[in-house]
Amino acid sequence: MKDIDSRFYRFQKLLSPDAHETLVSTPGLVDRLEHVLEDGADLPLVIDRSHLENLGLVGMSDIDDIVVKGGSGDDAMDNIPLPRSIGPHPIWDDAGACMISDRRTEVPPGPSPRPTPMIKLPPSGERVKASTGDLADIHRSVSETIKFGGGSSLRADHLSGPGGRPRPLAAEYEGDLRVIKDPTSSMGGKSKIDDFRTLFLDRYRTLRDILLLQYGAISPCQDIDDLRSSEEEVRFIGIVESIRTTKNGHRMVNIEDPTGSIRVLLSKNKRDTAALSIVNDEVIGIVGKFRSGDTRGGAIVFADAIYKVDIPIDHRRRLSDVRGLAAAFTSDIHIGSRMYLDKEWRRMIRWLRGEIDASLPGKDGTRVKYLVIAGDLVDGIGTYPDQDKDLLIKDIFKQYEALGESLSSLPDHIHVIMIPGNHDAVRIAEPQPPLPREFQDCFSNSHLHFLSNPAFFSIHGVHVAGYHGKSIDDLVTLFRDVTYENPIEGMKEMLRFRHFCPTYGMRNQISPEERDNLVIDDVPDIFVSGHVHRFGMDNYKGVQLIEGSAWQSQTPFQRLMNLKPQPGRMGIVELDLPNTMHAWELT
């Protein structure tokens, strides 16, 4: 119990000696006091025993002896007095035990606080199908599964446990997380000219292969150095070096590949090519007429068609073969900030434990197997001028320790997948490596996974791309439809370019590596991002998009820039059904 005091620092509360002694000597009291503070109880800076008595947390007459099991075997049992009524209703498991703060307690003979079971449980191991009457009001057709408003519910086709509370379905299955691409091993460029050349050569070759796979019209593909005048069209693939508009309103694009470069004219009179959005460093395919050079600038190709990488039109989302499991997606926790929404974050964790309802019922929280956090785990140190004025925790290690303490309240069956962001203790240039070991040691959960930014992984067979999203700072200047208020459009552009940061040399820093790990070579089923503290969900060519919200209220900088965050929300995806997304928020 030596960390009792630290558990109340987040509420900005201190404990008097007599209150500390009472909490140490009364098992379960720490958890109950935390619940009271989370529910908004108005207590002074220093909490003493009288405050505990006034709240009815001590001095109660209905205390019975409850046997608390710890470890394994009969030798690990000892008798500890514990109040029968403990804050929110506990969650009951199949053996008649309730789960309170990760401790298993058995209730002795006598009056039981458990509600009468709504469903009679079958013998152990026997499968039961609920009658139509049992679940008629909660079954929904696939066409009704996309919900963006409050008050909706995920499917509830799993058996409820005692007291009508759902058994944690997610606890019945082992986690199935597989890393598809990890850029960590290829990191280590020294920012020399040759390193940048290697990076762009890899980008060119990877996206060239994707184009050739998608479009037969570009084959046979020639190198630029081999282009010659001919009555037939030429076909080649290159990377955009520069773009300018001619005095007649046409676009002149300089294209290069490893063998050379050439000018390509996109006529304003050709509808198909005139409307295309093209940016520097993009890899495109060209079909057109070649004309040999003259004294005004060399050879030129008059483009008849331009081919761009994109998500294939026949992409279909992969589905989990386990029925009923879900995943939660969010971003930008910013622990350490004075604007960090600790109360809301704690209530979200209680929903995952099935203890409270939100816009989705608490029983749905017990089906969440994975929690994916897309960067900015903490607020960091020195990430912007005068940041110390906005910090409640000014030590970077203590920020991660506070996050570790918070995540320790999650159910053990949930796998947490975290990638870094620009506020985290990693390099600012992308791709970013996973959180260093010295910060990973601040966490105690058994199912934490620290991945890079970006990260490509699968959860129960469903492919996920996680990217913090800092390149939105570049995309808002490149595309009219992309704004900080509507970052989902930026996510769509990343998929259209098959690259998280298609243009080099703007605000977002890119590290020169052997491989361009910002290329989206694996087509994801789910794409989650963050950074701008907005929330949104959409679907692009079979890819489910989630802009991950935040757990920080409006900062002084956001107020100055008139940026309005949408905090305290998550996207919930059912892994075994296509096109199912649910907006989660506190109610």
pLDDT grade, residue 63 (50/70/90)?
Answer: very low
Point out the least confidently predicted range of 140-149, 412-421, 459-468, 472-481: 140-149
User: Which pLDDT score is estimated for 79?
Assistant: 36
- Under CATH, to which class is 177-182+315-585 assigned? alpha beta
141 or 14: which carries more pLDDT confidence? Answer: 14
Q: How many CA atoms lie within 13 A of 331 on its CB side?
A: 30
Task: Calculate the alpha carbon distances from 162 to 28, 116, 117, 352 in Å.
Answer: 22, 7, 4, 18
Evaluate if residue 103 carries a pLDDT over 80: no
User: Which pLDDT score is estimated for 453?
Assistant: 97
- Kindly report the backbone phi and psi dihedral angles of residue 557, in degrees, each rounded to the nearest multiple of 5, phi listed first: -65, -45
516-565: pLDDT as tens digits: 999 999 999 999 999 999 999 999 999 999 999 999 999 888 888 888 99
- Under CATH, to which class is 215-308 assigned? mainly beta
Point out the least confidently predicted range of 94-108, 154-168, 317-331, 466-480: 94-108
Collapsed DSSP state (helix, strand, coil) of residue 52: helix
Residues linked to residue 537 through DSSP beta bridges, in sequence order: 546
| 137: region left, alpha or beta (phi > 0 left; psi from -120 to 50 alpha) | alpha
DSSP string, 165-178: PBP-GGGGS---EE
Q: What percent of the chain has pLDDT over 90?
A: 61
CA distance 418 to 403: 12
326 or 9: which carries more pLDDT confidence? Answer: 326
Collapsed DSSP state (helix, strand, coil) of residue 50: helix
Kindly state the average pLDDT of the residues 22-28.
83
Single-letter code of the amino acid located at 84: R
CA distance 353 to 304: 58
pLDDT grade, residue 295 (50/70/90)?
Answer: low
- Kindly report the backbone phi and psi dihedral angles of residue 499, in degrees, each rounded to the nearest multiple of 5, phi listed first: -155, 135
CB atoms within 10 A of CB 78: 9
466 contacts 545 by C-beta, under 8 angstroms: no
Kindly state the average pLDDT of the residues 85-102.
32
495-517: pLDDT as tens digits: 999 999 999 999 999 999 889 99
Evaluate if residue 69 carries a pLDDT over 70: no
pLDDT grade, residue 10 (50/70/90)?
Answer: low
pLDDT grade, residue 167 (50/70/90)?
Answer: low
**Domain parsing of the chain, residue ranges:** 1-59, 67-119, 177-182+315-585, 215-308
360-381: pLDDT as tens digits: 999 999 999 999 999 999 999 9
Kindly state the average pLDDT of the residues 291-315.
87
Question: What is the separation of C-alpha 223 from the centre of its chain, rounded to a whole number of angstroms?
Answer: 41
Average pLDDT, the chain: 82
pTM to 2 decimals?
Answer: 0.73
3-state SS of 366-382 is CCEEEEEEECCCECCCC
414-450: pLDDT as tens digits: 999 999 999 999 999 999 999 999 999 999 988 999 9
398-419: pLDDT as tens digits: 999 999 999 999 999 999 999 9
Point out the least confidently predicted range of 141-145, 164-168, 389-393: 141-145
Evaluate if residue 139 carries a pLDDT over 70: no
Place of tokens 């910090």: 391
CA distance 299 to 263: 7
How many residues does this entry show for the chain? 587
CA distance 159 to 168: 10
Evaluate if residue 569 carries a pLDDT over 70: yes
CB atoms within 10 A of CB 342: 18
CA distance 47 to 14: 6
User: Which pLDDT score is estimated for 55?
Assistant: 81
pLDDT grade, residue 53 (50/70/90)?
Answer: confident
CA distance 315 to 313: 6
Strands annotated E in 27-176: 46-47, 63-69, 77-83, 91-92, 98-100, 103-106
50 or 218: which carries more pLDDT confidence? Answer: 218
CA distance 521 to 311: 10
CA distance 415 to 445: 9
539 contacts 527 by C-beta, under 8 angstroms: no
Alpha helices in 26-135 (DSSP H): 29-38, 49-54, 132-135
Residues linked to residue 371 through DSSP beta bridges, in sequence order: 328, 416
Evaluate if residue 99 carries a pLDDT over 50: no
Instruction: Give the pairing of strands 526-529 and 543-548.
Output: parallel
321-335: pLDDT as tens digits: 999 999 999 999 999
In the chain, the N- to C-terminal Cα span, in Å, equals: 33
Question: What is the separation of C-alpha 487 from the centre of its chain, rounded to a whole number of angstroms?
Answer: 15
564 or 134: which carries more pLDDT confidence? Answer: 564
Evaluate if residue 93 carries a pLDDT over 60: no
Two tokens, residue 317 = 């989302």
Two tokens, residue 548 = 């991950």
